[in-house]
Amino acid sequence: MDGTDETHHGTHGTAGGSNGKDESVRESKDTNKALPMAGSRGIFGRRRTAKDGDGGEWRTMAGKYLDLLNQFEQFLRVERNLSERTRGAYIYDLTRFQEFITVLHGRTPPLEAVTAEAIREYLNHLQVELAYKSTTLARVISSIRGFFDFAVARGAVDVSPAAQIRTPKQPQKLPIYLVYQELARLLEAPEPDTPAGLRDRAILATLAFTGTRLSEIVGVNLRDLDLLNRTLRVLGKGSKERIIPLNEIIQDAISRYLNVRWLSDSPALFLNKAGKRLTGRSVENIVRKYALKAGIFKDGISPHKLRHTFATLLHASEVDLIEIKALMGHASIASTQIYTHTSNSRLRQAVRKLENLG
């Protein structure tokens, strides 16, 4: 799910948002309000009866669900190479869904007893009683669908009940990005004569001129950098490796940083003052800090917005969408097409070019 990163962090991904917290995750924390009455007929294959055994059997079912959930989390981490935040959004959604169906049925039902109707009941609960937005519902559906696809692949169930669930239509939102002048101010904001300032400028330049994701830049190691050939190797979603060319601005910024980089046994390219690998939260704070210092007050400036900036400026420079897709590491061209948005001023200029024809 290439949309995982965007959906869960946009997301959340989330998946990831302004002030470091995914709005949809904050919204989800109200799920425990107004849980439905237990025992609704038809949500699962049948109502539980005394023949279903004692509480120990149902506790075993709950344990099986949690075991599979742990396996799913490991799958997301190892095979899908998803960030900790995105994995957290998946597990949060699935844990709340399990709590809902447990209350609804009185006990945790076996997975094969969960129906599409049960999932729709949960989504209706989120939308009607908790006023979830369509973007958040889409994230929850993505979590449930991914989990049951995994359950089918592992032989835990024969058919996924989530296959029948349609994702609500999403409102088209243009990405927030920086214009040239704002980007120039951002890159000049760090102090040019301190190790931290040189590191931060190198981080900002790398984000703005390579389009790397937050998880990718914090995962970069020294061995991934080739200044001689001006390339950077990153490991993206699904452990897909790509080689990104570096321009002179990045090359100069990283070279200056490496001259003062803290001594450390860590293989990471970007370190904190303790010589440890920078965390994603630290990089987010760095971007926000210098955006404010540069007088950039656009909503939610973040590493992901710099990724948007990279793609938008490439498109404005008439770089082909296929090439932008490759640089961004998109699995589908559909993810790249959002950067075809055009400003009103450019539209007016295009129309004025036709005036001479009159």
**Where in the sequence numbering do the catalytic residues fall?**
213, 237, 304, 307, 330, 339
CA distance 91 to 75: 12
Nearest 5°: the CA angle 270, 276, 247 is 5
- Which tokens is 96 given? 């709340």
Count of Cβ atoms closer than 10 Å to residue 276 Cβ:
13
Q: Mind giving me the DSSP string for 286-297?
A: HHHHHHHHTT--
Residue that has been written with the tokens 């002179």 in this structure: 248
Contact assessment for residue 82 and residue 150, using Cβ atoms and an 8 Å cutoff: no
DSSP string for residues in 183-242: HHHHHH-S-TTSHHHHHHHHHHHHHHHH---HHHHHH-BGGGEETTTTEEEEE-GGG-EE
Determine the Cα angle at 274 with ends 227 and 288, to 5°. 70
User: Which two tokens mark 251?
Assistant: 């090359």
Strand partners of residue 245 = 231
Q: What CA–CA distance (Å, rounded) separates 216 from 235?
A: 6
- What amino acid is encoded at 175 in this protein? P
